[in-house]
Amino acid sequence: MSDARELLRRAAGLLAQTPQSLPAEALAAYVAALQARAGEFLAARQRHGSSLYLLDRQALIARAQEFRAAFAQEMENFQPFFAVKCNNHPLVAAALVQQGLGLDVSSGLELEMALATGCRRIVFSGPGKTPAEHALALAHADKVTLLLDSFGELKRLQELAAEQGREAAVGVRLTTDEKGLWRKFGIPLSRLGEFCAAAAAGPVRLAGLQFHTSWNLDPRAQSAFLARLGQTLAGLPAPQRAALRFLDIGGGFWPARGEWLQEAATPQGRLQAALGEAAPAPLAHYLCPAAPIGRFAQEIGAALRAHVFPHLDCAIYAEPGRWLANDAMHILLTVVDQKAPDLVITDGGTNLIGWERFENDYAPVINLSRPGPQEHPCYVLGSLCTPHDVWGYSFFGQGIAPGDVLLIPHQGAYTYSLRQHFIKPLAAVAPLSLTEKE
């Protein structure tokens, strides 16, 4: 009975929380800016058909320049690496390589694509690398830095490198959370000295460190780990510290617009779902605010100066993914059926994004064919044989009907890479601008 009372107490606490609403004026300005570009989007639809991924190379380049500039103001030796898993279209990687970014890959498949772009600065992270992946990285050791994930990986790589007569400078990932599922990644900070000693002899030498925290709405988690890292570095012998020439601070930087949510993703919405009482609130939208990238750079820079640079003379790497790619791709759909005034079916299903994202996340559905400032309740559903094929519960426009072209804006992160051949074909990818390469 005490457990039941405790659950009720915690449920009451959830209901007492007031999630932050997405400001109506911010949403209106966001939608208006996209509606002002309706001609540009519709022209691309006319050229390439529907459904469609639209790649905005100019937005991608602008984000890359902004990210690099913010961190370059705070540290002298800084190199960003785009996290390819975030959006694995080759044109995205190629555009960023042309801007001087490196690439962060997590598989042999991604490494092959990265090498094909001509990139000369690649970091290869992730657990469970295969012998074939190790061999490919060693064959391109002048371009590829392996970020090792365990003592076992170090042993396997040492043996392979010795067998092939090759040498390599590598990094090691440090786990940021030694409990639960995040234990999967890296080694504990407490074993860093042991790892340095294990890498001291043999053809593979330790030259750097990496850590990663995900879904960072602000820099608190990164700064806190840098403080922990500083304490560990202070206890390492000087020769071990001197060998470390780079520190990779990972990615997880959330775009400055913050996280936009449906009611189902709020504490109250989750509780209602558990009680079997959940129903979409189509015009209720919520915001988890995010810090601007300048604040990330300033606070991480301050933490580096306070905790790391007293011990290491090193370059700083970062692995932005979502922050760079989010605004660089849009999805265009066409309404093919209207089953009720408040229910339409589109030609593209959520196999284009690979998961049931919009049952919880919110992105405005914008009717480019009938633009207007009002948001109307309406189930906007895809054409897959599943009820979870949801694009949204509302749309912006003056109405909606078969043949209308809908925009799902800013879907460049963890959508295209997760697309899947489930029931319906995948959409084509096309440049937004006529001047961009097909």
How confident is the model at residue 278, as a pLDDT? Answer: 66
- Tell me the mean pLDDT in the region 366-376: 98
Asked whether residue 8 carries a pLDDT value surpassing 90, the answer given is no
Digit-coded pLDDT (tens) for 373-426 = 999 999 999 999 999 999 999 999 999 999 999 999 999 999 999 999 999 999
Digit-coded pLDDT (tens) for 231-276 = 999 999 999 999 999 999 999 999 999 999 999 988 888 888 877 7
Backbone angles phi, psi at 110, to 5 degrees: -65, -35
Mean pLDDT score of the chain? 95
Return the SS3 of 270.
Answer: helix
How confident is the model at residue 1, as a pLDDT? Answer: 47
Q: What is the percentage of the chain residues whose pLDDT exceeds 70?
A: 96
> Into which CATH architecture does domain 57-256+291-325 fall?
Alpha-Beta Barrel (3.20)
Give how far Cα 133 sits from Cα of 118, 130, 137, Å. 18, 5, 6
How confident is the model at residue 309, as a pLDDT? Answer: 98
Digit-coded pLDDT (tens) for 325-360 = 999 999 999 999 999 999 999 999 999 999 999 999
- Tell me the mean pLDDT in the region 146-151: 98
How confident is the model at residue 420, as a pLDDT? Answer: 94
292/218 Cα distance (integer angstroms): 8
128/382 Cα distance (integer angstroms): 36
- Tell me the mean pLDDT in the region 174-191: 94
CA 306, distance to chain mean position in Å, is: 28
When comparing pLDDT for 195 and 180, which is higher? 195
58/183 Cα distance (integer angstroms): 38
Domain boundaries, the chain: 21-54+328-431, 57-256+291-325
CATH class of residue range 21-54+328-431: mainly beta
406/224 Cα distance (integer angstroms): 43
52 falls in which pLDDT band (50, 70, 90)?
A: very high
How confident is the model at residue 272, as a pLDDT? Answer: 80
Digit-coded pLDDT (tens) for 102-146 = 999 999 999 999 999 999 999 999 999 999 999 999 999 999 999
DSSP lists the bridge partners of residue 20 as none
- Does residue 144 contact residue 166 with C-beta atoms inside 8 Å? no
277/237 Cα distance (integer angstroms): 59
How confident is the model at residue 434, as a pLDDT? Answer: 59
Q: What is the percentage of the chain residues whose pLDDT exceeds 90?
A: 88
Asked whether residue 436 carries a pLDDT value surpassing 70, the answer given is no
When comparing pLDDT for 425 and 322, which is higher? 322
- Tell me the mean pLDDT in the region 33-44: 97
* Locus of tokens 């992270």: 125
E strands, 160-312, are 168-173, 204-210, 246-248, 259-262, 285-288
379/232 Cα distance (integer angstroms): 53
**pTM of the predicted model, to two decimals?**
0.94
Amino acid at 29: A
Asked whether residue 4 carries a pLDDT value surpassing 90, the answer given is no
Residue 305: Cβ within 10 Å count:
13
- Does residue 102 contact residue 316 with C-beta atoms inside 8 Å? no
Asked whether residue 197 carries a pLDDT value surpassing 80, the answer given is yes
- Does residue 318 contact residue 71 with C-beta atoms inside 8 Å? yes
Residue 248: half-sphere exposure toward Cβ, Cα within 13 Å: 33
In 3-state terms the chain splits into helix, strand, coil percentages (rounded to 5) of 40, 20, 40
- Tell me the mean pLDDT in the region 84-89: 98
